[in-house]
A and B are shown apart, each in its own frame.
Chain A
Amino acid sequence: MTDLWPRIEPLLAKVEKPARYIGMERGSLRPTHRPEQVSWLLVYPDTYEIGLPNQGLQVLYEILNERDDAAAERAYAPWIDLEAQLRANSIPLFSVDTHRSAGAFDVLAFNLSAELVYTNLLSCIDLAGVPVRSEERRPEHPIVIAGGHCAFNPEPLADFVDALVMGDGEEVVGEITEVLAAWKRGGRKNREAVLRDLASVPGVYVPAMYDVEYDGQWLRAITPKHADVPAVVDKRTVADLGEWPYPKHQLVPLVEVVHDRLNVEIFRGCTRGCRFCQAGMITRPVRERPWEQVRTMVRDGLQRSGYDEVALTSLSSADFSGIDGLVADLVNNQEGTGCVGLSLPSLRVDAFTVGLASQIQKVRRTGLTFAPEAGSWRLRQVINKLITEADLYSAVEGAYEQGWRRVKLYFLTGLPTEMDEDTLGIAELGRNVVEIGRRYNKSASCTVSLGGFVPKPHTPFQWFGQNGVEELKRKVFMLKDALPKKSGVQMRWHDPEATFVEGIASRGDRRIGRVIERVWRNGGTFQEWGEHFNFGHWMDAMAAEGLDPDWYVTRHRTDDEVLPWDHISAGLHKDFLWQDWQSALAEHGLPDCRWTPCYDCGVCTDYALEHVVASTVAPAGGSQGTGQDLTLGAEVPVTFRPRGERSELAGATTGPKGSAGYAGAEGVRPA
């Protein structure tokens, strides 16, 4: 009926890596679609190799397919060669599971993890045979939904996406399914009515239900059109990760993809409070997966998938309560699993981390990555990445001493208050790291990877004027000059022009939608791929829409400015963020609130949530490796779950939310 395979198959001999389009991954499903079910097409608007490992998409794929009233399949953006073939042969976007036409689904649900994929989103909608603008869609067209971190500033996509979902998707996809199932039962008549129903689902933002007022180029207000539409859309948060042991059947692709291994999410959220990090801000609070469940998911996942590597994923995996014990357990109990590798992405910079790493990588110690993010202690206090040089050097020394030969360091440039001496501090760190390494190994090397900083919504840096292209280029080349080949430090950097375009979309308002559409119509897809990125398309489109790129990107915002995402809440109070921004400018760091009394950022208190951790003991090395004394004598705001206990949230709460005075932390707490 809608199986497009016979038409797609002849094209696959003519394209690169055709196995990207055949599906059939271990763990994948071939749903049959019943009329009363709501059919979801989960689309990752980038290549299969990037999109397939996405855990969010895989989690929702399983949860939806477990429901009687839903069926879900997957699609990925076809690469340029196949897209041209599809268009030339009038074949629409298709699912990889049953090669069903995208337009035959009730929902097209997009995962948004980066701004530069926005033009691909339009490309996929269009390729599905659906009008790219929401207002032109009719009742027979699929409902277009998007979620993921970028959804927290939904405005640039407001013209194209019918509904955006804020926060964790596990629960809300079911509620959306129920709304759409009722709409289908009623004959799928009025698109406006179903969008209004969706707008009343907590966590769902329907742009068409809001009026946007401007005052010249200034945004004045974004207000709901109807009384039953919320003025502020709050994010959704899964209180207990232990209730959601997904994916249970992680997909095993037939072609090599990024992160090609078993991935087990060990906790969600992070309260280290790095001020540049949107993920850490919008995913609060910390929710650890029960220890025993992690073990089960690792064991079952390896057995089902045949993978020989597992990654324990999170925003800062060394912070998982009892991580050393868990790692020892996984490394030492491998009967039946063959030679299994274990990896811990996103590690903090300290000796504890190196100890963990050496437990894991008993052989083949080639490369280890740390992210100090800034070149001086002053600037690291500004961004609240509280790593001292001593932390870094002892971590690096430990690494080289124990046999690693290559250390990779991640840095950002263009950070608030950054001066040339901060940027050049990166060179000094790099050179010192090489010098330490050469004491242990003549071929020791260090790679510095430099990204341009893009201020993100819902972070303390959302008011900061991003560095322009010329300024970023100046800093990149200044650093490059300070790291000649003989220094032994290799340097890589992100294209400052791409950083600038990310800045347009990151903090853009609804008017940026027309820019995205123009770039797409000019053929600007796969913009996150260097060979396809076209800065000229973006500047031309801004000019054609009469918009000033610098006003969007490099301008500092003031505290009274209406921000395009003020009607979206990640739970963080705007005054908390402003206060933290002021602390940043005053060079004050802020320790992790997991083990210190509450700063009242707003998330736990407003949403009646708590950190869920398996230990009330702060990790070895203190907060961010600074050795700070975290035993401050006050109750800490966590739900304690003894190791191995399954999702019994009631029970051993340590006490009321800490509102006690914060003694002994002067100089760290914001003034």
Chain B
Amino acid sequence: MKGSDGIPVRVRFTKLGKVRFVSHRDVARAFERAFRIEQLPMAFTLGFSPRPKVSFGLALGTGHESVAEYLDLELAEPVDIDELPARLSPALPEGIDVSGACELADRAVSLQEAVDTVELQLRLVDLDSATLAGAIEHALASESLPITTTRKGRNVVEDLRPAFRSLVVNIDDGAPVVHAEVNTRPRGVRPNDLISLLRDLAASKNEVGEDRVLRTHQWIERDGARLEPLEADRATRTATRLRVTSKGLTNDRRDDSGGQDLRTDHPDADAGLTAARRIA
């Protein structure tokens, strides 16, 4: 969003429940429709087929959930940024809720480049905590952890060990949950590769298939501090453009403990309703 006259905005959103099966690309299309439904004054690219200026952060794999997804967009005219979560969420599919938004400083680095680490929660369906703890201990004690993965359709061997910032197993609601913080550079770690590694180390024969992944945080490191992307590049606010409401800048509904449950779905919104309910 550098080098243009529009207003850069960063948005945080969730991807929870059934909508986890929607691909990154289709999430992007859903946002483009939501911008039109809400008639946001988007800035457009030039050329024969103008597109709204939107850039997404690190892709989340199809089937994975998140409470910390981000996108940057550019507005052609000012709107009340504080109202964006309440405006966009109903225009988006169920499970994708905009949980925060802020105006960005003009020279903010793009999300893809800026994010240094991500935190993940992994639930491996059939492994107990002792087995997982053993696998983690083995992983952290290893000098290198070569795995075979695919890049651009080719099998390559990569070392996962340098990617780990932390790797622990906790008990959450009676079930073991692996908490991992991994580097995004030099390249990101695919959660499924991480799960495969743990399964290999635990001598598990099962496939990754039904295991669950929740991205809980993305972090930008600056001067030794770990910053949430909405905070890292927030614009210095000017009274002419924005109203500061009593609620503060963002409508942050996130549980910041990082311990949010991996829900299988939203609570059934239809329970007790007698009439058919139309989505949106």
Residues in chain A within 8 A of chain B (CB atoms): 5-6, 9-10, 12-14, 18-19, 21-32, 34, 65, 71, 98, 249, 252, 254-256, 302-308, 336-339, 363-364
Contact = CB atoms under 8 A, between A and B. Distances in A.
Contacts of A256: 26, 29
Contacts of A98: 270
A65 B275 CA distance: 10
Contacts of A27: 278-280
A13 B210 CA distance: 7
Contacts of A252: 33
A29 B49 contact: no
Nearest to A305: B33
B21 A25 contact: no
B264 A9 contact: yes
B274 A26 contact: no
B23 interface: yes
B22 A10 contact: no
B174 interface: no
A339 B32 contact: no
Nearest to B30: A254
Contact of B276 (A10, A65, A305, A307): A65
B273 interface: yes
Interface of B: 18-19, 21-23, 26, 29-30, 32-37, 39, 42, 44, 48-50, 62-63, 91, 93-95, 208-210, 264-265, 270, 273-280
6 contacts: A22-B21, A27-B280, A256-B26, A306-B32, A308-B32, A364-B49
Contact of A255 (B22, B39, B210, B274): B22
A18 B21 CA distance: 6
Contact of B23 (A19, A25, A339): A19
Given A25-B279, A29-B276, A32-B270, A18 B39 contact: no
B276 A32 contact: yes
B21 A19 contact: yes
Contacts of B275: 32
A18 B62 contact: yes
Contacts, number: 102
A249 B37 contact: no
A364 B48 contact: yes
A-B interface, 7 closest residue pairs, ranked by CB to CB distance from nearest = A306-B33, A18-B21, A306-B37, A31-B276, A22-B18, A306-B36, A10-B210
Among B37, B208, B279, residue most surrounded by chain A Cβ atoms (within 10 Å): B279
Nearest to B49: A364
B26 A255 contact: yes
Contacts of B273: 32
Nearest to A17: B23
A404 to B, nearest CB: 14
Contact of B50 (A6, A22, A339): A339
A100 to B, nearest CB: 12
Given A12-B21, A13-B210, A24-B94, A71 B37 contact: no
B124 to A, nearest CB: 13
B18 A28 contact: no
Contacts of A364: 48-49
A365 B32 CA distance: 23
Given A32-B273, A254-B30, A254-B93, A304 B37 contact: yes
Given A254-B19, A255-B22, A307 B209 contact: no
A277 B29 CA distance: 36
